[in-house]
Amino acid sequence: MAGSQQPRGGIIEGINVTPLVDIVLVLLIIFIVTAKMVVAPSVPLDLPQASHGEELQTIFSVVIAKDGQLMIDGQNADEQALDQRARAALAKDKELRAVIQADGDVPHRRVIDVLDRLKSAGLTKVAFGTTQRAEGVPVSTGAHEAHGARE
């Protein structure tokens, strides 16, 4: 080679990394695009709908006190009233959601009985209300939410 001082079989003093960087960037772009397509359909979520304008989501509140007494939307009630009021509220609003708040000392069978009564009335969108746990103070209720409870 004219103008070259090194012999043909000499030591290579520098490596050209430009082709390596080009290949890595192309692979990174392919990975980003395919990862988004692979992950998106595999995580289905049933998210609550946002209210628009005057439309608000109606909540059917059921509170079970420590002694087993039922309160529906802030008023004392019994099991028959629970059935009747749940059906009436569902007739008014097909997107009705029920929220059950039970004291931590209420037996599990009592909560399941209320849940079954709501399901038999047609209410399948049920959430369990809880209170936030204070630091160092154990709370016997946990945070659970079920869409289509026990279907």
- Domain parsing of the chain, residue ranges: 59-132
39 pLDDT exceeds 80? Answer: no
Query: Residue 63: how many CB atoms within 10 A of its CB?
Result: 19
45 pLDDT exceeds 60? Answer: no
**Confidence band of 146 (pLDDT split at 50, 70, 90):** very low
More confident residue, 141 or 19: 19
Least confident of 30-39, 42-51, 79-88, 138-147: 138-147
Q: What is the pTM of this model?
A: 0.52
Q: What is the pLDDT of residue 75?
A: 85
**Confidence band of 1 (pLDDT split at 50, 70, 90):** very low
Tokens 């695009």: give the residue: 33
Nearest-10 Cα torsion for 144, 71, 69, 95: -40
Size (the chain), residues: 151
| H or E stretch covering 80 | helix 79-92
> What's the CATH fold of domain 59-132?
Nucleotidyltransferase; domain 5 (3.30.420)
- Give tens-digit pLDDT for 57-98: 678 888 888 888 888 888 888 888 888 898 998 888 888 888
Q: What is the pLDDT of residue 138?
A: 55
| H or E stretch covering 112 | helix 108-121
- Give tens-digit pLDDT for 89-122: 888 888 888 888 888 888 889 889 988 998 988 8
More confident residue, 138 or 89: 89
Q: What percent of the chain has pLDDT over 90?
A: 10
Residue 61 near residue 99 (C-beta atoms within 8 A): yes
| H or E stretch covering 66 | none
Residue 21 identity (one-letter amino acid): V
> d(Cα 64, Cα 71) in Å, to the nearest integer?
7
Q: What is the pLDDT of residue 29?
A: 94
* DSSP-derived 3-state class of residue 102: strand
